Amino acid sequence: MKEKLAQTLLAFLSNRVYFLLVLMVVVVAVMSSISPYFFDITNLLTMTRLGAVLALIAMGQSLVILAGGAGIDLSVGGILSLTGVLFGLLAVRAGLDLPVALLLGVLIGAGLGALNGITVAWWGVPPLIGTLGSGWAYSAIALVITQGVPVSGFVDAFRFLGEGSVLGIPAQIMLVVLPAFLLLQMMMARTVFGRWIYLIGVNDQAARFSGVPVTRIRFLLYTLSGLLAGLGAVVMSSWLMAARPDVGAGMELQSITVAVLGGIDIFGGTGSLLGTILAVLIVTMVASGLQLANINAIWQLAVLGFILLGAVALNQILSRQMAVRQGLRV
């Protein structure tokens, strides 16, 4: 009986999504004990706002990594900064109608992502080098265009996306993040394109021999990652009511951290967007709780690093134990 219970518990915790749910409960309990204000409804809603942009970028990062081939997008921070600046210039300086500027802002993000797709997928530049270089270039262009000064002066109606709410839930979650997640989740679970992504991540050579357009799919995934970063830039601009040229600094590493914590295999082929979203919630809760407890920012980074290493290592150990037990069973 005890052996069966242990086997069931091991199987439960070796599943990354279930493991993250348990970890989330632990984080809530710990943070609530550290700060009495953590479980306040206002703080919880603020946390979702903090994680909205990270969730969008992390979903794009997850898809790029899932397709394997050492895929990674180190340019998402630069895309976030440059897209936000260009969107701000279109909406404020050029005087375009807000819906038109919004659409163009998202398309600019997709275009910058497409440039990465051309560099990596079509030209064969290693993703680490190609996206790192483009990320630096995008960030530099954003700073040059603005001379380091944020673009402000958005119409007041734009504030609703970043600070408003729908049915008591932040508008950026209800109108942007949730629809994006549901569409991408449906794509991954119910379309041939989604199945191709996993197949390419597992073995891209076998996928090519099976007639899967590997190069085209990787190009589209970098484009999609840029589009999601463009959406994030619009959301961030609405929240700050300004387009800052440095707003994307460090976001690329955060998105990779969240993707790996969420169960995306760094070599591709394994993982889910649900795990990524749960990881965003965990990272956001930890950051918010530590801020409420007045923990030094340096220690906040250290705690997040330990959580990432500890959680991934523990989940790997549990998965290996499960595999060993199943092997002995056979």
SS3 for 38?
Answer: coil
- Residue 141: the pLDDT is 95
Give, for 118, the enclosing helix (H) or strand (E).
Answer: none
Q: How far apart are CA 50 and CA 16, in angstroms?
A: 23
Calculate the alpha carbon distances from 261 to 105, 124, 161, 258, 277 in Å. 30, 28, 28, 5, 10
| Residue type present at position 15 | N
- Residue 13: the pLDDT is 63
Q: Do 79 and 138 meet the contact criterion of CB atoms below 8 Å apart?
A: yes
Q: Do 11 and 136 meet the contact criterion of CB atoms below 8 Å apart?
A: no
CATH of domain 12-324: 1.10.3470
Calculate the alpha carbon distances from 202 to 32, 87, 206, 214, 223 in Å. 41, 38, 9, 12, 21
Q: How far apart are CA 231 and CA 291, in angstroms?
A: 27
Q: Which two tokens stand for residue 59?
A: 């979903």
- Residue 181: the pLDDT is 96
Q: Which long-range contacts (CB under 8 A, 24 or more apart) does 42-46 make?
A: 43/288, 43/292, 45/165, 45/168, 45/169, 45/170, 46/288
Nearest one of 189, 182, 221 to 204, comparing CA atoms = 221
Nearest one of 300, 258, 287 to 73, comparing CA atoms = 258
- Measure CA 123 to chain center: 26
Q: How far apart are the first and last CA of the chain?
A: 19
Q: Do 228 and 180 meet the contact criterion of CB atoms below 8 Å apart?
A: yes
Q: Do 172 and 50 meet the contact criterion of CB atoms below 8 Å apart?
A: no
Residue pLDDT tens, the chain, 330 long: 666 666 666 666 667 788 888 888 888 888 888 877 777 777 777 778 778 999 999 999 999 999 988 899 999 999 999 999 999 999 998 888 999 999 999 999 999 999 999 999 999 999 999 999 999 999 999 999 999 899 988 999 899 998 888 888 889 999 999 999 999 999 999 999 999 999 999 998 999 998 999 999 999 999 999 999 999 999 999 998 999 999 988 899 889 989 988 889 888 888 899 999 999 999 888 888 888 777 776 777 777 777 777 777 776 776 676 666 665 453
- Residue 150 DSSP label: P
What are the structural domain ranges in the chain?
Answer: 12-324
- Measure CA 82 to chain center: 18
Q: Which residues pair with 243 in a beta bridge?
A: 151
Nearest one of 265, 264, 282 to 273, comparing CA atoms = 264
Q: Which two tokens stand for residue 142?
A: 């954003």
